[in-house]
Amino acid sequence: MTEIIDHLNALAERVLQLAEGDEAIVTAGRSDHGLTRFANSFIHQHVSDESTMVGLTLVRDGRVATTATTNVTDDGLRALAMSAAATADLLPADPRWPGVAPEVILDGRMVPANEADPQRRATIVADFVTAGDGMQAAGYCDTSEVTHVVATSTGSRLVGRSTRATLDGIQQAGGGGATAAGSGHRTAQGLDDLDGTSVGALAAGLARRGLDRVDLEPGRYPVVLAPECTATIALFLSVYGFNAKSHAEGQSAIEVGVAQFDAAITLVDDPNAGHGFGLGFDVEGTPQRALPLIDAGVSAALVHDRRTAAAAGPGVQSTGHSGPGSAAWGPVADQLHLAGGTTDPLDLVAAMGRGLVVTTFNYCRILDPKTMVVTGLTRNGTFLVEDGRIVGAVGNLRFTQSFMDALAPAAVTGLGNDARWADAEFGPALAHAPSLALQSWNITGAAPR
Amino acid sequence: MSTAFDQATRAVEAALAAGARYADARVVHTRTRALSARNAEVESVDLGDDLGIGVRALVGASWGFAATSDLDADAAGRTGAQATATARASAILPGGDLRLAPLAATVASWDSPFDQDPFEVSLSTQADLITAVTRDAAAVDGVAVATAHLQFWDVRKWFVSSEGHRIDQRLVSSGGGMQAIALGKHETQVRSYPQSFGDYRSGGWEVIEAFDLPAHAVRMGEEAVALLSAPPCPAVTTDVVLDSSQVAMQLHESVGHAIELDRILGWEAAFAGTSFLDLDQLGTLRYGSVLMNVTADATMPGAMGTFGFDDEGTPAQSVEIVDAGRWVGVLSGRDSAHLAGLPPGGMVRADGYARLPMVRMTNVGLLAGTSTMDELIGGIDYGVLMATNRSWSIDDRRLNFQFGCEIGWEIKAGQLGRMLRNPTYTGITPTFWAGLDGLGNEELRRAWGIPNCGKGQPMQTMQTAHPAVPARFRNVEVGVTG
């Protein structure tokens, strides 16, 4: 562990020595990933990969170039520095370069090293499969460990490590025409917190209930959305709404200071949460803090990197949300916490007259960021509720729904007490979210089974 | 000095020595260059240099895979042994018999052709191009944001297998595009050229020159602004003509992914999903109308999904997928093909050295018909012409889709009429393709490139293409809104 950090620090210092320019930001990262995939109830792919990457952003006479390499030999680092300099010299000056962040010395989050033993992952997968009691199971269990160093020409030195372990899978019930799938998901910092049996049993229960089909006409329905769905909504709000670049270009639906959401909604980005997955700083070397994005229904803040902050004017600071590609896509918050409520999710369902319970979303795509209208499908368990009780499964449904309208004032009817790290459209470990009860969700079609 | 072939050979030997019954290794060196501009300024310039080795080992019925960017003296042997050890850990949940379809060992070298190396073209030339087109588009009154981007790849691969393959390849590809955005009070309107997210081809700088971005910048801006005041696409069931880029997207989602044999076999069920296709129906299932003819052709010159050999060493080939509306073929690799009793299709590729190769689209394309664009439109009493994809979504079995396009035009009595904003359409795959009754001719055929098709866990992006022509479809539900 210390050896890796020392190695990354040495690489970063060496690149700073080699970088010939006015300003420089060096990132050095080490990633170790292990994955056990299963399908048709057996392990069919078992993967491990490791990589070390060094990146350099170099400024020469106001010209900015960014280069990266996995060749971390001294020759490779020299080539990296030379390439950055040669590239910068060929470009026009960047009038919006905000300068390198002021000096910060930070030992960021240091989560203990992750266990990446493939046998442990395989055992957890076996527990998941066994819990299906003969159903066809598919999914994955993986572990990752990322250690990152940022060193800048202003003297900043930041280091942090994050670990993650995820179990995500489906059980498929039935056969001979009628089939149904249910899903289960858990993400934690290590394998010790993943229980294959309970996640597999959850998925199996949803799959069994899914076999009992009833028909449903398109239209607007009250819904109880499970955490996977809620997490996806939070991520879309982050990517398309609270992104300061999108906002500056007039493409965001967010109006800071306006009560755009139901008063029950509070959304915070907290990269330092003890159970989370942030490093505590961004690739520009800006430390991160908890940032309320929605405070009791009121849009509270945008997320910035140094470019968007500088463009926003005096007094606006980076919130530490620069990432790879954010120069083009804008800064994005990805350690989101949507505050949960006190209600058992089953009571959210019981409080609904006629409506739907949705387990996960699938293939969500935005039609217009300004309205936040999104189309997608439900998957792995969608159920019809009448008089507060599930009366049958309705298969996978297509929806076309504005996420802003869905969470608008007086549109939220309840929040579950089951907030957890949920799998979202863009992956796991990005949003900690509860079940969410909404007055209306626009179903526009169904997928045949 | 150790060569890439030497390292790959050592890795394979180490995997076999550790107990694998088959092993292969790829050393992959990927150079990338990406530039973007916004409103007449360079926004970002990123250069990448990614080198490493990935080793695949088969133990029992399970693949093990290990990869590293560390290419020190011991790395190849260490990674090979690790691949086997990882595969062996699968024994707790073993699968059934897994064999590889027979393949003759090949020693070969293949390079994709290009006229002008895009990495030898000055960055200032490339930056000047995209700043100029964004300046022109942004100068249109009402355009809020104009963007443009260029991307280039130079990928070298060295492949060795325990069956005697020894293949090196170089794949050079280029692409880019531009976009103009106009803002209304409650909506955004977008126009993109050549298509949303750009177009991509196998080739060099000549690819970008052929796009002629400057000639289209002002038109993109003007159309984006005009869309703000255009009437919305009506919510009706009617006839549509899709431009070739949207037909390419339709092919990608409702044909390309559906015919991936690993999906059909359930290997991707949890994430990417399965397919509505069942192997028992191969050769008999009606996919669409008799006008529908689809091939997966990895040999097509200049297309983004073209290569010499896939990442298992299988030679590139053209495979018939849909014949006069009948489903006849799949995308496959050696293991999936053997399970299905089919010859290997040579469609297994990986995203760089660090990912396990899997079934991927090559150039899944719709063969041309005989109609001109005027004839396609002329055959419609009332309908909508839609162009340039804006949104896409389809269910996990590739049946229920909904697409949005950037721009539409009303068709009345066989004539193009007023512009329509927010055109969308939805349908069910075989029903939709059964409604195909008009196809553009060969002159209208174009291989649209996609640089980032996503699949797998962890997610792998892949370069594919879809040769397509404009096409007419009957009785389509359009105008779906939130």
Structure tokens at A269: 């980005």
**B240 - beta bridge partners?**
B384, B473
Residue A335 has pLDDT above 90, yes or no: yes
- Asked if B93's CB is within 8 angstroms of A140's CB, the reply is no
Record the pTM.
0.96
The mean pLDDT value for A384-405 works out to 96
B205, B228, B251: which is the final residue of a domain? B228
- Confidence at residue B169, expressed as pLDDT on a 0 to 100 scale: 98
The 10 Å CB-count burial string (b at 16+, else e) for A68-95 is bbbbbeeebbebbbebbbebbeebeebe
What would the 3-class secondary structure string for chain A be?
CHHHHHHHHHHHHHHHHHCCCCEEEEEEEEEEEEEEEEECCEEEEEEEEEEEEEEEEEEECCEEEEEEECCCCHHHHHHHHHHHHHHHHCCCCCCCCCCCCCCCEEEEEECCCCCCCHHHHHHHHHHHHHHCCCCEEEEEEEEEEEEEEEEECCCCEEEEEEEEEEEEEEEEEEECCEEEEEEEEEEECCHHHCCHHHHHHHHHHHHHHHCCECCCCCEEEEEEECHHHHHHHHHHHHHHHCEHHHHHCCCCCCCCCCCCCCCCCCEEECCCCCCCCCCCECCCCCECCCEEEEECCEECCCECCHHHHHHHCCCCCCCCCCCCCHHHHCCCCCCEEECCCCECHHHHHHCCCCEEEEEEEEEEEEEECCCCEEEEEEEEEEEEEECCEEEEECCCEEEEEEHHHHCCCCCEEEEECCCEEEEECCEEEEEEECCEEEEEEEEEEECCC
| Claim to verify: residue B350 and residue B423 sit in the same structural domain | yes
| Claim to verify: residue B466 and residue B327 sit in the same structural domain | yes
B404 contacts B386 by C-beta, under 8 angstroms: no
The 10 Å CB-count burial string (b at 16+, else e) for B441-475 is beebbbbbbbbebebbbbebbbbbbbbbbbbbbbe
Residue of B69, B355, B480 with shortest CB distance to A70? B69
- Confidence at residue A425, expressed as pLDDT on a 0 to 100 scale: 87
Of A424, A368, A447, A444, which is closest to residue A225 (Cα–Cα)? Answer: A424
Terminal CA-CA length for chain A: 49
A152, A179, A207: which is the final residue of a domain? A207
Q: What are the angstrom distances between the C-alpha of B121 and each of A79, B209, B245?
A: 19, 12, 28
Structure tokens at A404: 């802003």
- Asked if B70's CB is within 8 angstroms of A52's CB, the reply is yes
| Claim to verify: residue A197 and residue A252 sit in the same structural domain | no
CA distance B92 to chain A (A): 7
| Claim to verify: residue A194 and residue A258 sit in the same structural domain | no
Residue A175 has pLDDT above 70, yes or no: no
| Claim to verify: residue A221 and residue A198 sit in the same structural domain | no
A207, A226, A261: which is the final residue of a domain? A207
Identity of residue B266: G
- As a whole number of angstroms, the distance between CA A333 and CA A308 comes to 14
| Claim to verify: residue B154 and residue B252 sit in the same structural domain | no
- Asked if B482's CB is within 8 angstroms of A377's CB, the reply is no
- As a whole number of angstroms, the distance between CA B354 and CA B25 comes to 11
Length of chain B: 482
Q: Does B145 touch chain A (CB under 8 A)?
A: yes
| Claim to verify: residue A220 and residue A258 sit in the same structural domain | yes
B180, B199, B228: which is the final residue of a domain? B228
CA distance B249 to chain A (A): 14
- Asked if A79's CB is within 8 angstroms of B89's CB, the reply is no
- Confidence at residue A315, expressed as pLDDT on a 0 to 100 scale: 93
CA distance A46 to chain B (A): 5
Residue of A91, A398, A448 with shortest CB distance to B123? A91
Q: What are the angstrom distances between the C-alpha of B465 and each of A227, A293, B180, B199?
A: 36, 40, 24, 9
- Asked if A118's CB is within 8 angstroms of B270's CB, the reply is no
- Asked if B46's CB is within 8 angstroms of A66's CB, the reply is yes
| Claim to verify: residue A229 and residue A193 sit in the same structural domain | no
A207, A242, A275: which is the final residue of a domain? A207
Q: Does B51 touch chain A (CB under 8 A)?
A: yes
| Claim to verify: residue A27 and residue A110 sit in the same structural domain | yes
CA distance B209 to chain A (A): 20
**A300 - beta bridge partners?**
none
**B405 - beta bridge partners?**
B389
| Claim to verify: residue B362 and residue B456 sit in the same structural domain | yes
CB proximity list for B233: less than 8 A, separation 6 or greater: B384, B408, B420, B421, B422, B423, B424, B478, B479
Q: Does B422 touch chain A (CB under 8 A)?
A: yes
- The pLDDT > 90 percentage for chain A reads 91
| Claim to verify: residue B382 and residue B460 sit in the same structural domain | yes
| Claim to verify: residue B193 and residue B240 sit in the same structural domain | no
- Confidence at residue A371, expressed as pLDDT on a 0 to 100 scale: 94
- As a whole number of angstroms, the distance between CA A68 and CA A71 comes to 9
CB proximity list for A392: less than 8 A, separation 6 or greater: A212, A213, A214, A383, A384
Confidence of residue A324 (pLDDT cuts 50, 70, 90): confident
B213 contacts B178 by C-beta, under 8 angstroms: yes
> How do beta strands A157-175 and A178-188 pair?
antiparallel
| Claim to verify: residue A275 and residue A200 sit in the same structural domain | no
Per-window interface: B 288-317 vs A, CB < 8 A: none
Chain B residues lying within 8 Å of A139, measured CB to CB: 270-271
Helix (H) or strand (E) holding B319: strand B318-323
| Claim to verify: residue B353 and residue B215 sit in the same structural domain | no
CATH number at residue A175: 3.30.2290.10
Determine the structural domain holding residue A318 and report its residue range. 212-449
- Confidence at residue A328, expressed as pLDDT on a 0 to 100 scale: 85
| Claim to verify: residue B334 and residue B266 sit in the same structural domain | yes
B227 contacts B421 by C-beta, under 8 angstroms: yes
Q: Which residue of B has its CA nearest to A50?
A: B68
Structure tokens at A380: 């792995």
Compute the Cα dihedral for A271, A277, A280, A281 and give only its sign. Answer: negative
- As a whole number of angstroms, the distance between CA B154 and CA B451 comes to 13
Per-window interface: B 181-220 vs A, CB < 8 A: 181, 183-184, 186-188
Confidence of residue A114 (pLDDT cuts 50, 70, 90): low
| Claim to verify: residue B258 and residue B209 sit in the same structural domain | no
| Claim to verify: residue B301 and residue B153 sit in the same structural domain | no
Angle CA(B82)–CA(B160)–CA(B31) in degrees, nearest 5? 90
Chain B residues lying within 8 Å of A446, measured CB to CB: 400
Structure tokens at B49: 């240099």
Q: Which residue of B has its CA nearest to A326?
A: B44
| Claim to verify: residue A149 and residue A230 sit in the same structural domain | no
CB proximity list for A319: less than 8 A, separation 6 or greater: A269, A286, A288, A289, A291, A301, A302, A303, A304, A309, A331
- Asked if B51's CB is within 8 angstroms of A70's CB, the reply is yes
Determine the structural domain holding residue B360 and report its residue range. 236-478
The mean pLDDT value for A371-396 works out to 96
- Asked if B457's CB is within 8 angstroms of A400's CB, the reply is no
- As a whole number of angstroms, the distance between CA B17 and CA B400 comes to 48
| Claim to verify: residue B389 and residue B469 sit in the same structural domain | yes
Q: Does B268 touch chain A (CB under 8 A)?
A: yes
Q: Name the DSSP class of B330.
A: -
B182, B206, B228: which is the final residue of a domain? B228
Phi, psi of A307 (to 5 degrees): -70, -50
| Claim to verify: residue B204 and residue B240 sit in the same structural domain | no
Structure tokens at B473: 């479809």
CA distance A236 to chain B (A): 14
Q: Name the DSSP class of B279.
A: G
| Claim to verify: residue A164 and residue A217 sit in the same structural domain | no
Per-window interface: B 157-186 vs A, CB < 8 A: 181, 183-184, 186
Q: Does B87 touch chain A (CB under 8 A)?
A: yes
Confidence of residue A179 (pLDDT cuts 50, 70, 90): confident
A406, burial (CB in 10 Å: exposed 0-12, middle 13-18, buried 19+): buried
Phi, psi of A399 (to 5 degrees): -125, 150
For residue range B424-440, what is the model confidence (pLDDT) as tens digits? 999 999 999 999 999 99
B19, burial (CB in 10 Å: exposed 0-12, middle 13-18, buried 19+): middle
CA distance B423 to chain A (A): 10
Residue A115 has pLDDT above 80, yes or no: no
- As a whole number of angstroms, the distance between CA B188 and CA B280 comes to 46
Domain count, chain A: 2
- Asked if B62's CB is within 8 angstroms of A42's CB, the reply is yes
Confidence of residue A110 (pLDDT cuts 50, 70, 90): confident
Instruction: Tally C-beta pairs within 8 A across A and B.
Output: 272
| Claim to verify: residue A135 and residue A157 sit in the same structural domain | yes
| Claim to verify: residue A264 and residue A401 sit in the same structural domain | yes
Q: Which residues of chain B have pLDDT under 70?
A: 1-2
Chain A residues lying within 8 Å of B186, measured CB to CB: 370-371
Domain count, chain B: 2
- As a whole number of angstroms, the distance between CA A227 and CA A432 comes to 8
CATH number at residue B211: 3.30.2290.10
| Claim to verify: residue A26 and residue A171 sit in the same structural domain | yes
Confidence of residue A354 (pLDDT cuts 50, 70, 90): very high
